[in-house]
Amino acid sequence: MDLHLKNLFGRFQDQFGSGPGLGPGSGVCLMNVEGISSNIIQSIFRASASIYRSEPWKRLRPGHLFGVRVGKDSDWSGKRQPFQCVQFIGGDGGDIAIYMYRSINYALKMTDDSWEMVRVPNVEVFRVTYELESLMLPANKKMVKSLSLEVSGADRFPVIDVARCMTSGELQFRNPTLEELRLVFAVMKALSLVHPLLLQEEKQVRGLPRVIKFSPLIETVDVQWPPEMFKGHDFVAVTVSHPPGQSYEQNSKENAVMAGEDDELEIVSSIMTNLR
């Protein structure tokens, strides 16, 4: 009987979600995005599989936030990058997902110290939720098979949507735009390269032994656009920072203080030169 209940509860968790996050994918299908092509969808799924294979959820928790800057503000239709802060959901249980917020303030408001997320009214969250193929809605299953889309892990595929928290506490969902899909492609490709570079600090968070604390990090990588996303340049510079708001200048000052304490001023000079 106990085994039966355990299996039943496991299936319930897979189907309806659990733990931090906003629940499983909404069922939004990328085939309904205006102007979408099969090549764009295939590129998005390849990028999703790439970051899934890098296993960020092994170390990262919802409290670990990342700032991302893709190209220049003038590259985006509103002269501002639409989503700028990234969070990994599922490392401590529940739905496996990547969330993007329009600002770090929104991310902090929706992430507290409890198990559940806070649903802040009128805040949009761009979500990449990795769902089991067996639980996907028919439209997404059909898309996966007809386009031979790349699987993430053994049996999961990304369901991509934008969720908006309403004043009633309910969620509304919409399709992402082509521009937002272009953004998440670059972000996923960059994060799959950068997050493994995070260095764990020896001194951890008091009272939270399971939460790993990382040294501040900022890295810029070049991401190559696939032909179907090309807009004048083959590559785009993506800067990833943890925590969000880090700058190369701040990083240089911190290194200077540390090296000064160890009388290794030559190292500081070298670091400052390389960052210019």
Percentage with pLDDT > 90 across the chain: 61
Gyration radius from the chain CA atoms: 20
CA gap 189, 68 in Å, rounded: 12
HEC string of the chain?
CHHHHHHHHHHHHHHHCCCCCCCCCCCCCHHHCCCCCHHHHHHHHHHHHHHHHCCHHHCCCCCCEEEEEECCHHHCCCCCCCCCEEEEECCCCCCCEEEEECCHHHHHHHCCCCCCCCCCCCCEEEEEEEEEHHHCCHHHHHHHHHHCCCCECCCEEEEEEEEEECCCCCEEEECCCHHHHHHHHHHHHHHHHHHHHCCECCCCCCCCCCCCCECCEEEEEEEECCHHHCCCCCEEEEEEEECCCCCHHHHHHHHHHHHHHCCCHHHHHHHHHHHC
Taking residues 26-51, report their average pLDDT: 95
Whether 259 shows a pLDDT value over 50: the answer reads: no
Q: What is the predicted pLDDT for the residue at 75?
A: 92
CA gap 248, 251 in Å, rounded: 5
CA gap 221, 189 in Å, rounded: 9
Helices 38-53 and 178-194 pack at an angle, to 10 degrees, of 30
Taking residues 132-159, report their average pLDDT: 95
User: What does pLDDT average to over the chain?
Assistant: 82
Whether 243 shows a pLDDT value over 90: the answer reads: yes
Domain boundaries, the chain: 15-240, 246-276
Q: Tens of pLDDT along 66-116?
A: 999 999 999 999 899 999 999 999 988 788 999 999 999 999 988 865 556
Q: Which pTM value belongs to this model?
A: 0.81
Q: What is the predicted pLDDT for the residue at 119?
A: 86
CA gap 177, 232 in Å, rounded: 20
CA gap 242, 181 in Å, rounded: 23
Question: 11 to each of 6, 133, 134, how far by Cα in Å?
Answer: 9, 13, 11
31 vs 261, more confident: 31
Q: Tens of pLDDT along 183-237?
A: 999 999 999 999 999 999 876 656 555 678 999 999 999 999 999 998 888 999 9
Whether 270 shows a pLDDT value over 70: the answer reads: no
pLDDT band of residue 247 (cuts 50, 70, 90) is confident
Whether 11 shows a pLDDT value over 80: the answer reads: no
Taking residues 25-38, report their average pLDDT: 90
